[in-house]
A = this chain, B = another copy of it.
């Protein structure tokens, strides 16, 4: 949508790029899902937790595509067209439930995403060297009781290994 002139504007107004390809908005997906559910009288099933569990189910199916492959290079070289198509379907499934879940929670997903990108940019300034040595033994001292938990919660006390590793490598 970086074309100029009235043609681009008109095309964009229809949610399409100048070349006719869709510039799909989250709002469009939200509306389509809402219509889809309404037409089938499915609103009754679309409680937040139902949708969340449905999304977890789709994340599971997405994971199955990658489960026995070992590390997969970017761009998926060597994948057959139908494998990539299947992948697209599973990625879409996760997105569609995510969009619907956000809608049912009253969250504007697109706005939330832009806001989060802004927060991330503040948290991770460009050009700042990630000093991992100081983080390595960083612990959060915040108390964090959690009734109902049978496993406890060591997120705040334990070093965040995953983050640390990312930082170490980065």
Contacts and interface: CB of A to CB of B under 8 A. Distances in A.
A45 B169 contact: yes
Interface residues of A, number: 131
Interface string A60-87: 1111111111111111100000111011
A49 B24 contact: no
Interface in A83-101: 83-84, 86-89, 91-98, 100-101
B48 A120 contact: no
17 contacts: A8-B13, A24-B113, A25-B25, A45-B169, A47-B70, A49-B49, A53-B64, A54-B63, A64-B163, A76-B106, A86-B158, A91-B98, A97-B150, A120-B151, A135-B144, A139-B142, A146-B167
Interface of A: 1, 6, 8-10, 12-15, 21-27, 29, 32-33, 36-37, 39-42, 44-50, 52-76, 82-84, 86-89, 91-98, 100-102, 104-117, 119-121, 123-124, 126, 130-132, 134-135, 138-156, 158-167, 169-170
